Amino acid sequence: MLDSPYVRRVAVSLHVLGVPFTQRCVSVFRTYEQFKAINPVVKAPTLVCRDGTVLMDSTLILDYAEALARPRSLLPASAGERAVALRGVGLALAACEKSVQIVYERELRPAEKQHEPWLRRVTEQLHSAYRELESELTARPAPFALTAPAIAAAVAWRFTHEKLPGTIDAASHPRLQALSGWAEAQPAFLAAPYDETTLHV
């Protein structure tokens, strides 16, 4: 489902890497049994390789995709530049994770079982992830490109703003806002549009 930032990250990245794939919209919630038949662990994204091997976790799927796409890559080869890029990916994935945790807490738990201290903690972590990402983009101004950190950051940004409107102030994150606007207009993002109608909760 393309409302999952992890699924969207993989779909966009596969487009950029030129790795062909077929997408099946199976929900980890609404079509749990159908998903379970493909992957008993029921984690999205799940990638079924040509030989039937079932992969899960966006980062591990993209690791495999990079092997298929070589020499094309979304990450720099040199250790120093790679560390910077991986830090960006890590911050964006933390933003995804914290956003998803808030969504699950609000949408899956009954109101009387919601734990405010936990929500406060996760929300603070979410703010920190975006603040750090904004600092990274400001510290290293460069023309936008569909690299691994840029894809992850743009996908995270869109997800947080769609699912948790008003939580993160766009005006305080001008570089992220600009990256998102640019990325969403790129063919790889347009080919894998954020889609509320495939809501996974």
195 binds ligand GSH (CB under 6 A): no
Integer Cα distance of 25 and 31 in angstroms: 10
Decide whether 59 or 123 has the Cβ nearer to ligand GSH.
Answer: 59
| Shortest separation between residue 141's beta carbon and ligand GSH, angstroms | 28
Lookup result for tokens 């993160």: 168
- Count of residues touching ligand GSH (by CB under 6 A): 12
Binders of ligand GSH among 108-147, rule CB under 6 A?
A: none
189 binds ligand GSH (CB under 6 A): no
27 binds ligand GSH (CB under 6 A): no
Q: What is the DSSP string of 102-152?
A: HHHHHHHS-GGG--HHHHHHHHHHHHHHHHHHHHHHHHS-------HHHHH
What Cα–Cα distance (Å) separates residue 34 from each residue in 29, 128, 164, 182?
Answer: 10, 37, 28, 36
8 binds ligand GSH (CB under 6 A): no
Q: Which two tokens stand for residue 125?
A: 């972590």
Binders of ligand GSH among 40-99, rule CB under 6 A?
A: 42-45, 57-59
Residues in touch with ligand GSH (CB under 6 A) = 4, 6, 28, 42-45, 57-59, 100, 200
